[in-house]
Chains A and B, each alone.
Chain A
Amino acid sequence: MRKTVIAIAGATGLVAALAGCAQVQEPAPICNMAGINASRTLVALPAAAPDAPSPLMEMPLNSVSVVDHAIIQKVFPRQVTARRTPTGTVEVVTQIVNCTDHPLNVEARTQFYDGAHTASEPVSAWKRFAMPARSSNTYRESSIGAKNVNFYMVELRETR
């Protein structure tokens, strides 16, 4: 009888231990795409004609716009910041998260704007960076101009 009780207790303990092992620990990050979509609030640009509604809605300035439909549900711009360099130019730093279980090759470019929301310089060239599965990578871009840069817009798309 005593052996039976010990055996049952041992089996119970083993099952409990196995149950603990069975909890799947998701590797970071876990992207809530519903929340990401909600954060994509488009804004209207100033209308060309007075007293007329703007026909164009786009991502607000100082943000990352995923312009490729193929990856809009796959990547998440975790952070986007900007700072002045020692020479007065503006450096944009943004961290992009690959929410998928597969490696991605993406490329980004930045358009810098002056205080009047006008492009202050030519758009930068596409800069490619690789993103391993479920990991993040940092995209940096510096402006050409110094004093005339006030805003920026980063565009992101998939590449090979």
Chain B
Amino acid sequence: MQNRAASIIVGYETVRPIVRNARAGRAAIEIEPGELTFMRRLMTVAAAALALSACQTVQNEAGTPTTYQDPGSLGAVRGVGIESQDIVGMTDQMMRDMLTEPRLANASPPPNVIIDGEYFVNESASRLNRNSITDRLRVGLQRASQGRMNFVGRHYADMVQAERNLKRKGVVDKGANPAAVAQKGGDYRLGGRITSLDARDAKTGLVQRYTQIVFEMADLESGEIVWSGIYEFSKAAADDVIYR
């Protein structure tokens, strides 16, 4: 008579007790010494798991509540990269500084300026969307300038051209505003660069990063840089902050 041995699967190993000398009404199970040790370990692990399962209770507490923070001040999560208070600070500083430049803010007629992220490059170790800087600068400057500058939305050029084509093909009417010969050209356009320099202390894990953000306004006919501004800072931290 051949008895089927029961299999117990633990992890990647299979324990198969050897069943021999099976007779009618009595089954003798012989377990080799090595397998006996393994069975004892298995029982110990099972007992520990049982004890631990008794400790598992529901942690019936509220999580960390969401809180609104001042984007212009240090937040709860701080790292060495560019953060909201840096973006708010640098754009506010650049906007106010541009308004002190007569060629930009006191020219007659007011110049057409283009401010977008097309020529504002990020070469730093910080992961960020550079449009968050140029967009805030453009919006703040346009609201503050009050006619001292005209702003050209070059990032909307395709949208404008598509509507112009529809109007000229007669698919849609001419609209209320008078037709323009062409889209506005820019007199000045924003350019700039973000660079950084990293250093790490291998013993303490402390990381420091120097970040430099350069803003420049270039004349689109001559290439002359008519205004420039710089914002720089250096931060050190040992926290594991990931910018996403």
A contact residues vs B (CB 8 Å cutoff):
85-89, 91, 121, 124-128, 141-145, 159-160
Q: Whole-angstrom distance from the CB of B146 to the nearest CB of chain A?
A: 8
Contact across chains for A85 and B100 when beta carbons are under 8 A apart? yes
Q: B73's closest neighbor in chain A, by CB?
A: A126
Q: Which residues of the partner chain A approach B106 to less than 8 Å between Cβ atoms?
A: 86-88
Contact across chains for A127 and B93 when beta carbons are under 8 A apart? yes
Secondary structure of the B side of the interface?
A: helix
B contact residues vs A (CB 8 Å cutoff):
72-74, 85, 88-89, 91-93, 95-97, 99-102, 105-106, 144, 148, 233
Given contact pairs A85-B100, A91-B100, A142-B100, A126 touches B105 in the complex (Cβ within 8 A): no
Q: Whole-angstrom distance from the CB of A129 to the nearest CB of chain B?
A: 11
Contact across chains for B99 and A144 when beta carbons are under 8 A apart? yes
Q: A126's closest neighbor in chain B, by CB?
A: B72
Cα separation A127 to B93 with both chains bound (whole Å): 8
Contact across chains for B233 and A87 when beta carbons are under 8 A apart? no
Contact across chains for B96 and A144 when beta carbons are under 8 A apart? yes
A-B contact pairs, 21 of them (CB 8 A): A86-B100, A89-B96, A89-B100, A89-B105, A91-B100, A125-B85, A125-B88, A125-B89, A125-B92, A126-B73, A126-B85, A126-B89, A127-B93, A128-B89, A142-B96, A142-B99, A142-B100, A144-B95, A144-B96, A159-B74, A160-B74
Contact across chains for A125 and B74 when beta carbons are under 8 A apart? no
Please give me the 5 A-B residue pairs with the lowest Cβ-Cβ distance, nearest first.
A125-B92, A144-B144, A142-B96, A85-B100, A87-B106
Q: Whole-angstrom distance from the CB of A90 to the nearest CB of chain B?
A: 10
Secondary structure of the A side of the interface?
A: loop
Q: Which residues of the partner chain A approach B95 to less than 8 Å between Cβ atoms?
A: 144
Q: Whole-angstrom distance from the CB of A81 to the nearest CB of chain B?
A: 16
Q: Which residues of the partner chain A approach B99 to less than 8 Å between Cβ atoms?
A: 87, 89, 142, 144
Cα separation A125 to B102 with both chains bound (whole Å): 23
Contact across chains for B100 and A127 when beta carbons are under 8 A apart? no
Q: Whole-angstrom distance from the CB of B132 to the nearest CB of chain A?
A: 15
Cα separation A89 to B144 with both chains bound (whole Å): 11
Q: A110's closest neighbor in chain B, by CB?
A: B96
Contact across chains for B97 and A125 when beta carbons are under 8 A apart? no
Q: A88's closest neighbor in chain B, by CB?
A: B106
Q: Which residues of the partner chain A approach B72 to less than 8 Å between Cβ atoms?
A: 125-126
Given contact pairs A87-B101, A88-B106, A124 touches B96 in the complex (Cβ within 8 A): yes
Q: Whole-angstrom distance from the CB of A65 to the nearest CB of chain B?
A: 17
Q: Which residues of the partner chain B approach A144 to less than 8 Å between Cβ atoms?
A: 95-96, 99, 144
Interface centre among B73, B85, B91, B100 (most CB of A within 10 A): B100
Contact across chains for A124 and B102 when beta carbons are under 8 A apart? no
Cα separation A121 to B144 with both chains bound (whole Å): 9
Cα separation A144 to B102 with both chains bound (whole Å): 13
New A-B contacts (6) at CB < 8 Å, excluding given A89-B99, A142-B96, A160-B74: A89-B100, A91-B100, A124-B92, A125-B91, A127-B93, A142-B97
Q: Whole-angstrom distance from the CB of B109 to the nearest CB of chain A?
A: 15
Cα separation A86 to B104 with both chains bound (whole Å): 11
Interface centre among A88, A121, A145 (most CB of B within 10 A): A88
Cα separation A127 to B96 with both chains bound (whole Å): 12
Cα separation A88 to B146 with both chains bound (whole Å): 14
Interface centre among B74, B92, B95 (most CB of A within 10 A): B92
Q: Which residues of the partner chain B approach A87 to less than 8 Å between Cβ atoms?
A: 99-102, 105-106, 148
Cα separation A86 to B100 with both chains bound (whole Å): 7
Q: Which residues of the partner chain A approach B89 to less than 8 Å between Cβ atoms?
A: 125-128
Cα separation A159 to B73 with both chains bound (whole Å): 9
Cα separation A145 to B99 with both chains bound (whole Å): 9
Cα separation A7 to B99 with both chains bound (whole Å): 75
Cα separation A127 to B91 with both chains bound (whole Å): 11
